[in-house]
Structure 1
Amino acid sequence: MKNIIFKFSISLMLLCFFCNCDSFVEIDLPPGQLNTPSVFEDRTTANAAMADLYAKLRDSGLITGNGTGLSNLMGNYTDELIYYGSATTGIPPFYNNTLTANNGTVASFWNDSYNQIYSANAIIQGVAASVSLRQPDKDQLTGEALFVRALIHFYLVNLYGAVPYITTTDYEINRHAGRLATELVYQSIITDLVQAQNLIEEDYVVAERIRPNKGAAIALLARVYLYHGDWAEASNTASVVLNDSQYGLESNANMVFLKGSTSTIWQFKPMAEGVNTAEGGNFVFTSGPPPFVALREDLVNAFEAGDHRRISWIGTVSDGSTTWYFANKYKEQTNTGSSVEYSIVLRLSEQFLIRAEARARQGELSGAKDDLNVVRHAAGLGDTPAVSQQEIIDAILRERRVELFTEYGHRFFDLKRSNALDTTLSTVKTGWNTTDALLPVPETELLLNPNLAPQNTGY
């Protein structure tokens, strides 16, 4: 980071929390601006700092619903989306699989992510130093910041491979940070999430599930265990969420992505009342040709006959000669009188599919089928016909494809961890190479910090 500004000011009882990271690995130490203890001496301003971090996650970086986030870019990178937008944006290199180490969007992924991690660390340190915050507030804020730190590192390690795991705001440490092996990154993620779940309240501290509770930390931990191949831990951890009476699958597919859905575990509230999701603005269109992106037909054809998700979550536009399809999970393309959709980051159906896969990989085939069938029944489908272990695992991965499409890069990560990237994408993406399993480390970062070397193969 060439510049990190961590400054707090209060106006009309609203706190604005600034943290500008132009580059993660090289910063000019901002004199007197990292120490802002007054922010963490008051519960209101401390919570405002936390809320602002969630606004940053919503509006920029990896998990934003904007066109620069994983949902769109990795959908273009794999076999979910067809790109129709301008050739001058940062998206064509993702769609054509022609990324380079000088790609600005890849650099933004890296810098925005470490900006957000820096903010999480600043909250952890500020809360720890506070002498006036009540212990329950300190625990909740620390737990949430640990959750965010783990979440962003989880995406980074799955995109870049070995990455620095940053746990401090200390300039001298961060500017020389090297890349940790993926195993060590995973262990750090697990450590943070275990601590987070022990600190965060079971109940949501604010309405509408817009700040993570204990269930959100446990849900993310279940996913991490699955990706890491810890099948028993993944199954047991997902069970904690699935046994929580706060959550329940919606029987109507049109209800799943409304802000009041019982299947939501954690979601982002829009910036103002009446605003809906960036996803709806990006994916929905009403006339052809598509102005931005459309769904690939092979994804549309992956749905079984009678699947309610095919009817409710995929829209169709035709000009009489050509038909296009779009992701219609979030249906509000524009503002409404009051917001009806929030961007959902974690939801219950993934937990059923996590436990189903973890059970199947341990040979618990009956339980795996039961979990898979819960998701299928909610979509109006019958029991899976899969019988053998491999058939059940394949059926679960197919279910993940139609359940989680255009959500935070799930398709890319599922293909990658099931060793199916090359066999799947080489047939539909002419620019696909085996080395595309990892993104390049930004060239600017390698130049500023030699400890980030070597560059990922292929770049």
Structure 2
Amino acid sequence: MKTKEINIKKSILQREHLKKCVHSIKYKVLLLAILGINACTDFVEIDPPKNTLVAETVFEDSETVESALANVYVKMRDDGMVSGNFGLGLLMGSYSDELDYYNSFVEYSRIYNHGVINSSSTALEWWTHAYNIIYAVNDIIIGLDQTQSLSTAEINEYKGQALFVRAFIHSLLVGMYGDVPYITTTDYLKNNTVGRMSEAEVYAHVIDDLIDAIDLLGEDYVVSERVIPNRWVAKALLARIYLYTENWGLAETTASQVLDGFELEPDVANVFLKESSEAIWQFKPDDYPDNNANEASWLIIRMIPGNYYAVTDELLSSFEEGDQRLEHWISSFTSESDEEITLYYAHKYKEAFYTTELSLEYTIVFRLAEQYLIRAEARAQLENISGAQQDLNVIRNRAGLANTTAAGKADLLDAILQERRVELFTEQGHRWFDLKRMGKASEVLAPIKTNWKDTDVLFPIPLNEIELNPNLEPQNPGY
């Protein structure tokens, strides 16, 4: 540990030189070709979609619905906000204080440097991808309401999954864009003229959909792996939404229910393996048996220059001495040049594509550690100091750290935010959403992001979408 900490301090001095020169160097990234392959047929070991996802679809057999839902999960895994391919974990990691960006793509540089514009390709891609997913699950819901061929149990299961996805995607949209439409129909005449709802209204709809999904879904996973959402997954998201909307009592209660259904992975080295006991929902890689989570291919550094992202000095210095997460979830690469530049990178996922005979790691979307931290924060807000300390200590002790010394409510909330930082870094944009919801984005980012503006707490509504539907106006401030 001491050698690693000395190397971290040394690497900080080397980075400024690298940042000045790396963008002028041109090179090819072969992984783009690899990650461009779209193979989804074995995502849940069923046939490709039989329907075309149009409003008139009526599902006549369970395989059709399962295939349509599988297609939704594949699209979420491979593209958009939830994906490991330039989704929230990567891009909002660089937008916040987790990742430095070292490549030369203009769009990703703008995100890293807080120069996002209203014609941002990422803002447009995430928006359109999200609403395409929402359209697809709305079509499934409508088809299930029309079918006469499926059993009540089948309809409940499939509708519960669709409602969960609709709630999940809307929860990300409202987090990124603020006021957004909540779409529940496939009627293009209505959807093309819809206006934006307030954040409070959107979250209310998210909660309603999740409550309905929980009533419909079962507790068991419908396949042998944790790749299809069930009641626990919907409850995990509901606990998060209750936290985000400051409904502390329900956040504590709902997180407790999830915590009762799973076990925390005891060894931090095994948390991101596909068999991890704390995984609640994962994305399975495509149908090549040796594929692993997408994130590793973009985060693991193999050459300098030539990488995309490295862990920031701010994140490195935030780990306490003896924290096993620094040892197991952060790694480094040193160049062979005379300067011997060292960069540190997120190494939660160890294996990139085609590096193992069988898949070892799936992308984790929800895991149990977040639920402990949700309940800790809710308990702190409710003045349950000992309960908050207990939950915080579960995560700290698993990482090899002593119990927290935070005692008062304010100190505990700061300690929980810090623990979320070192526990959930580069996962699904958690750090960014935490800074935003706690009102700390300007305080933390203004000193390290030269282009930071207070209005950067929201992405722009895509200009293309406003031109197509003026009811989406007004544009978010700052764009």
TM-score normalised by structure 1 residue count? 0.92
8 Å CA contact 1:101–1:440 kept in 2: the answer is yes
Distance 2:284 2:428 in 1: 17
Distance 1:313 1:72, change over 3 A: same
The answer to whether residue 438 in structure 2 is matched with residue 422 in structure 1 is no
2:316 paired residue number: 300
8 Å CA contact 2:51–2:68 kept in 1: the answer is no
8 Å CA contact 2:280–2:366 kept in 1: the answer is yes
Letter in 1 for 2:329: W
8 Å CA contact 1:60–1:66 kept in 2: the answer is yes
Match of 2:344 among 325, 331, 338: 325
Letter in 2 for 1:132: S
1:198 Cα deviation after fit: 0.6
Match of 1:58 among 49, 53, 77: 77
1:19 Cα deviation after fit: 6.6
The answer to whether residue 353 in structure 2 is matched with residue 337 in structure 1 is no
The answer to whether residue 272 in structure 2 is matched with residue 257 in structure 1 is yes
Distance 1:432 1:347 in 2: 31
1:173 Cα deviation after fit: 1.1
Letter in 2 for 1:194: I
- SS of structure 2 residue aligned to 1:286: coil
1:276 Cα deviation after fit: 0.6
Query: Structure 1: which 5+ runs fail to align?
Result: 1-11, 21-32
1:6 paired residue number: none
Match of 1:443 among 447, 463, 466: 463
The answer to whether residue 290 in structure 2 is matched with residue 283 in structure 1 is no
8 Å CA contact 1:290–1:324 kept in 2: the answer is no
8 Å CA contact 1:168–1:174 kept in 2: the answer is yes
The answer to whether residue 244 in structure 2 is matched with residue 230 in structure 1 is no
Distance 1:315 1:341 in 2: 17
1:29-428 aligned at under 5 Å gives the runs 33-37=54-58, 40-67=59-86, 69-88=87-106, 90-244=107-261, 247-272=262-287, 273-319=289-335, 321-335=340-354, 336-428=356-448
- SS of structure 2 residue aligned to 1:58: helix
1:5 paired residue number: none
Distance 1:18 1:347 in 2: 32
8 Å CA contact 2:57–2:139 kept in 1: the answer is no
Distance 2:386 2:50 in 1: 50
Letter in 2 for 1:389: K
- SS of structure 2 residue aligned to 1:162: coil
8 Å CA contact 2:252–2:379 kept in 1: the answer is yes
8 Å CA contact 2:294–2:353 kept in 1: the answer is no
- SS of structure 2 residue aligned to 1:208: coil
8 Å CA contact 1:361–1:389 kept in 2: the answer is yes
Letter in 1 for 2:100: I
Count of aligned positions: 431
1:15 Cα deviation after fit: 2.7
Distance 1:19 1:115 in 2: 13
1:4 paired residue number: none
1:449 Cα deviation after fit: 0.7
Distance 1:410 1:60 in 2: 18
Distance 1:254 1:423 in 2: 33
1:162 Cα deviation after fit: 0.3
State, as a whole percentage, how many aligned pairs show the same letter: 47
1:16 Cα deviation after fit: 2.7
Distance 2:429 2:131 in 1: 19
- SS of structure 1 residue aligned to 2:252: helix
8 Å CA contact 1:19–1:119 kept in 2: the answer is no
8 Å CA contact 2:217–2:230 kept in 1: the answer is yes
1:157 Cα deviation after fit: 0.4
Distance 1:87 1:340 in 2: 30
Distance 1:117 1:228, change over 3 A: same
The answer to whether residue 49 in structure 2 is matched with residue 16 in structure 1 is yes
Letter in 1 for 2:68: A
- SS of structure 2 residue aligned to 1:15: coil
Letter in 2 for 1:269: K
Distance 1:393 1:291 in 2: 35
- SS of structure 1 residue aligned to 2:422: helix
Letter in 2 for 1:359: R
How large is the RMSD of aligned CA atoms in angstroms? 1.5
- SS of structure 1 residue aligned to 2:48: strand
1:321 Cα deviation after fit: 3.0
1:8 paired residue number: none
1:17 Cα deviation after fit: 6.0
8 Å CA contact 2:177–2:460 kept in 1: the answer is yes
1:322 Cα deviation after fit: 2.1
Query: Structure 2: which 5+ runs fail to align?
Result: 1-44
1:86 Cα deviation after fit: 2.2
